Amino acid sequence: MNTCTPRSHIVDSGFYSSGYTTAEARQVFCDVQRYQRWLDVEAALALAQADLGMIPTAAAEHIAA
């Protein structure tokens, strides 16, 4: 059974990461923060679309929440 986790970049590597990045940079660019930024963009888009009357305001507020 293979217990390795696929890594997409050298800074994700448990072995090499400390040589190529810092703990602070890993916090900024971690998957959780990346996904949150994507969600923030989606929320802003929905709110802008509601302002333009493209989608209902209640739907935009639900998406932003």
CB proximity list for 13: less than 8 A, separation 6 or greater: 7
Q: What is the DSSP letter of 7?
A: -
Residue pLDDT tens, the chain, 65 long = 455 555 566 666 666 666 667 778 777 777 788 889 999 999 999 999 999 999 999 999 999 99
Which two three-digit tokens encode residue 48?
């802008």
* Angstrom distance (rounded) from CA 39 to CA 49: 15
Provide the token pair at 36: 């949150």
Count of beta carbons in the 10 Å neighbourhood of residue 17: 17
Q: Radius of gyration of the chain from Cα atoms? A: 18
pTM above 0.75, yes or no: no
**pLDDT for residue 24:** 82
